[in-house]
Amino acid sequence: MTTRKEQIERAISEHIDIVDYDPRWPQLFARERDHLLSCLPGDQIVRIEHFGSTAVPGLAAKPVIDMLVEVKNLALARRTIVPILEAQGYDYFWRPSFGDLRSPYYCWFIRRDEAGRRTHHIHMIEKHFAQWEGLLFRDYLIEHPDVARQYETLKRDLSHSYPSDRAAYTMAKSDFVRRITEAAKRAYRPT
C-alpha cells in the first residue's frame, strides 16, 4: 500500500506522452461513465461529461480520458463515493480547483490499467464550479480545427519541455486555455 505522499509524488511526476488521436476514446469514456453509474449512488450523480483533448475528434492528447462528474454535494461524495472508488483501486485526491491551493476543493480520481498507466481522470465537482467551462473550451476546439491544431502543437512542444513535470506542463498551457475559453464564452454566451 502506498502512502498519500508517494501517491502524490507519483501523480505529479509521471511522464507526459502526447499521442495521436485514438478513435476509441469516446468508447472508453462511455464505458467508464456506465461503470460509474452502475457502482455509485445514483441519487448523488447529476451528469457525466467527456471533456479535455480526448473529447475533440482528431486532436492528439495524453491518452487519458478526462471526465467531469457533477455531484449534488461534495461533502456527501467524500463520505460515500470516495470509499467505493478507492476500494476499486482508483487514486483519490482532495485537490484545489486552482494550482495555488485556493478553494474550492474537489474530488479527483485517477483510474489506472493493470500495468499502472493512467486511463481516466475523474473530476468530481458541483454545479457551480468553474471546471464546467472546460466544456466551452472543448466545443470551441471541435468547431475551430485551426485552433485545435495550435493547441496540439503547443501540447507536443510542452511535453518535450516538461516530460515529467505535470504541474509545469499544465501551467505552461494555461494562458492558451484561458484565452480560448474567453473566446468560447464570447461565442457561446454573447452578452
Positive/negative CA dihedral, 70, 50, 123, 147: negative
Q: What is the pLDDT of residue 47?
A: 97
> What is the pTM (predicted TM-score) of this model?
0.92
pLDDT tens-digit profile of 101-117?
667 899 999 999 999 99
Cα separation values, 113 from 33, 38, 43, 103, 110, Å: 16, 19, 28, 30, 10
CATH classification of the domain holding 37: 3.30.460.10
Evaluate if residue 1 carries a pLDDT over 80.
Answer: no
What's the whole-number mean pLDDT along residues 25-30?
Answer: 98
* Residue-range definition of the domain harbouring residue 69: 4-188
Total domains, the chain: 1
Evaluate if residue 40 carries a pLDDT over 70.
Answer: yes
pLDDT tens-digit profile of 62-104?
999 999 999 999 999 999 999 999 999 999 999 887 666 667 8
Q: Name the least confident of 10-19, 37-46, 49-58, 177-186.
A: 10-19
Supply the mean pLDDT for the chain: 94
d(CA 45, CA 184): 27
Q: What is the pLDDT of residue 189?
A: 82
pLDDT tens-digit profile of 117-140?
999 999 999 999 999 999 999 999
Cis preceding linkage at 104, omega within 30: yes
Provide the grid cell at 188.
Answer: 457561446
Q: What is the pLDDT of residue 150?
A: 98
Instruction: Give the number of residues written for the chain.
Output: 191
Alpha-helical (H) ranges within 20-165 are 25-39, 74-87, 133-143, 145-161
Evaluate if residue 172 carries a pLDDT over 70.
Answer: yes
